[in-house]
Amino acid sequence: MKTYKEIETGVIEWREIEGESTTIGLVIEGQDRTRTNDEGEQETYSPWDELIDSGESIIRLTKAEKDKAKAEKDKANKKSEDRKLKQQGVKVFDVMCSATSEDQSGLLAVQAWLSSGGAPTVFRFANGNELELTADNYQEFAAIWMPFRQSFFK
C-alpha cells in the first residue's frame, strides 16, 4: 500500500509498506527525472505532475501547518544567515573581526587584562584574523564591535 502526505509546500512524502518492509521517498515540485521509455529512449518527466495528475489521494497540510512550517524554515534561515555574518564580522581598524560567542568571551578576558594594566595583546578572532588590542585602542574597538555583536540579540 502506498500513501502520500504533503510535508511542506511543494514536497510530498510517499510511503510504501509491503509486509515488514517500508520504503519512503519524496516527490518535489519542479524536480524532473529521466527514465527510459518503451522505445528505449531517455525521456524527462515530472514525478510531481504525474502524481498530481494520477488522482491518488494526498493528505494535504492545513494552512496553519503550512504557516508554522514556513515560520520554522524562516527562523532556521535567519539563524544560518546570522551565523555567516558573525563569522564574517565587522571591519575595525582595517581588520574583519568576527563576532562569535567565543570571540565575545575572549574579548572580555582581554578587556579585563588591559584594564588591570596588562600589556598590549594580539587577539585572534574565530575567523582567523588578528588585531592588536591595547589599553589605548580598546574603547574605540569596542564602540564598533560591540554594537555589531549585540545586533544578533533580540
Distance CA 24, CA 42 (A): 25
* Owning domain of residue 20: 2-61
**Domain check: are 55 and 112 in the same one?**
no
pLDDT of residue 106: 95
Please list the alpha-helical segments (H only) found in the chain.
Answer: 47-54, 63-88, 101-115, 138-150
Looking at the fold, whether 47 and 95 belong to one and the same domain comes out as: no
In the chain, how many domains are there?
2
Question: For residue 87, what pLDDT is reported?
Answer: 82
Which distant-in-sequence residues (6+ apart) come within 8 Å of 85 by Cβ? 99, 152
Q: How far apart are CA 50 and CA 27, in angstroms?
A: 10
- Verify that 124 and 90 share a domain, yes or no: yes
Tens digit of pLDDT at every position of the chain (154 positions):
899 999 888 899 999 999 999 999 999 999 999 999 999 999 999 999 999 999 899 999 888 988 888 888 888 888 888 778 788 889 999 999 999 999 999 999 999 999 999 999 999 999 999 999 999 999 999 999 999 999 888 7
Distance CA 132, CA 123 (A): 6
Sequence length of the chain is: 154
Neighbours of 141 (CB within 10 A): 20
Query: In 3-state terms, what secondary structure has residue 142?
Result: helix
Closest CA to 15 of 24, 26, 6: 24
Residue 79: its pLDDT value, please? 81
pTM for the structure as a whole: 0.52
